[in-house]
Amino acid sequence: MRKTYTYKPNNITSFKKQLLAWAQQFYEVVWLDSNNFKKAYSNFDAVLAVDALTSISTDYHDAFQNLKEYQTNTNDWIFGYLSYDLKNDVETLNSNNFDGLKFPELMFFQPKKLFFIKGEEVVMQYLNMVDDEIEDDIDTIQNTNKETENDHQKLKIKRRLHKDEYYNKVENMLEHIHRGDIYEANFCQEFYAEQIMLNPLSIYNNLNGISKPPFATFLKFEDKYILSASPERYLKKQGNTIISQPIKGTAKRSTNFMEDKELKEALKIDEKERSENIMIVDLVRNDLSKTATKGSVTVEELCEVYTFPQVHQMISTVTSTVNENTHPIDILKTTFPMGSMTGAPKVSAMKIIEDLEETKRGVYSGTVGYISPSGDFDFNVIIRSILYNKTKQYVSYSVGGAITAKSNPVKEYEECLIKAKAMREVLEN
């Protein structure tokens, strides 16, 4: 079904930039880049999928069942996203908040052309119908200008929620916590601009250059774009092993070496941040147990602190084992949406989130990734991401944080601004 061709460019860094620039001609593009972040459970340094042979696009009604049928019948590589609002397919919930982006709630495609980058090598997999284009494509990619125009029109970022409103809503959430309705919930706010024309590739390159995250994504479906500098993995399936790596706990960086080290050490022992992380680990363990073989759910790493260019992050790793006949879509459905973006108990948290937030989350705090022909998959969490609808000329990014009994509304707001910094810088030039 696919022809495989291995190629070794003279300069892999340059080739990656040319490859992504070349991909812009297609209506469907998914680019996943680890930015050479060396961590366990990594298969590729980067992957590019372009040009749909088949695709699926749907709202939340029976979305997971439709995806299951599509993935089973395709029996090939598929790439795409699940939006947060597929929660309404999993539970009896709804999404009635304002939506300026208007993305489909689920979208996947079967690419004609695939590029897997590992080390200095590129493995290309082309469907048989286009395999005669491989050599021409390599020539064209190597002659593609990798530089992009940085300029875009001046834009004014607006906030959907003003600071005082944010404080009031966090206080409201704290009342729910003190009443015992929830232990923790992720509360998000949107920043946006209207009547905007952007160069999505330029925006992505600048955002990725600032953040260099392990789960960076450039996704294009016709006129809709996800430009993501995500540091977080949602879920990976590797054989019969399932891996979840929730992030909870954030601290800013400092240019002063000693101060930066102190900020990192302070995050490691921060009681509030650790309790946030541990609550979500418990939720993830519960989610994974729905498909796990008995006794196989394991916490491999608890509250480890990792350093990224913009922030320090507290990450845990939870794994499980599934039976060979467990369908990959069932594993996604029983864990979605991810615990780090919802709260505990999960359904109660999602109801309160819907009530207090002003914006429909849509793709934000959903996931983008791939499923392989063997049923393996890898998906990130769509955070630290700029979302753009070119036709509607609407650009948006959202940020949030976990609210617990120990939360201070002022500090939570400050944490949101730290998370938003790279996206604001890129958009405001």
Give yes or no for a contact between 332 and 82, defined as CB atoms under 8 angstroms apart: yes
Do the beta carbons of residue 298 and residue 319 sit within 8 Å?
Answer: yes
Task: Give the pLDDT confidence score for residue 152 in this predicted structure.
Answer: 72
Q: Is 222 a catalytic residue?
A: no
- Catalytic residue among 232, 273, 276, 412, which? 232
Domain ranges of the chain: 2-427
- Calculate the CA 320 to chain-centre distance: 21
CATH topology for 2-427 is: Anthranilate synthase (3.60.120)
What is the pLDDT, as a whole number, of residue 175?
97
152-186: per-residue pLDDT in tens? 777 889 999 999 999 999 999 999 999 999 999 99
Structure tokens at 266: 């302070």
Alpha helices by DSSP H, 126-270 = 134-142, 163-179, 200-211, 257-269
Check if 248 is active-site: yes
- What's the pTM? 0.96
Identify the active-site residue in 248, 333, 351, 360.
Answer: 248
Answer whether residue 99 shows pLDDT above 90: yes
Per-residue pLDDT at 274: 93
Closest Cα to residue 306, out of 46, 44, 45, 37? Answer: 37
What is the spatial distance between Cα 320 and Cα 243, in angstroms, rounded to a whole number?
7
CA gap 307, 91 in Å, rounded: 36
Residue 147, pLDDT score: 76
Q: Read off the pLDDT band of 244 (50, 70, 90).
A: very high
Cis ω before 213 (30° cut-off from 0): no
The model's pLDDT over 115-147, given as tens digits with 9 standing for 90+, comes to 999 999 999 999 999 999 999 999 999 999 877
CB 75 within 8 A of CB 332: no
Place of tokens 């929620």: 161
Q: Decide: 185 and 353 in contact? Cβ < 8 Å.
A: yes
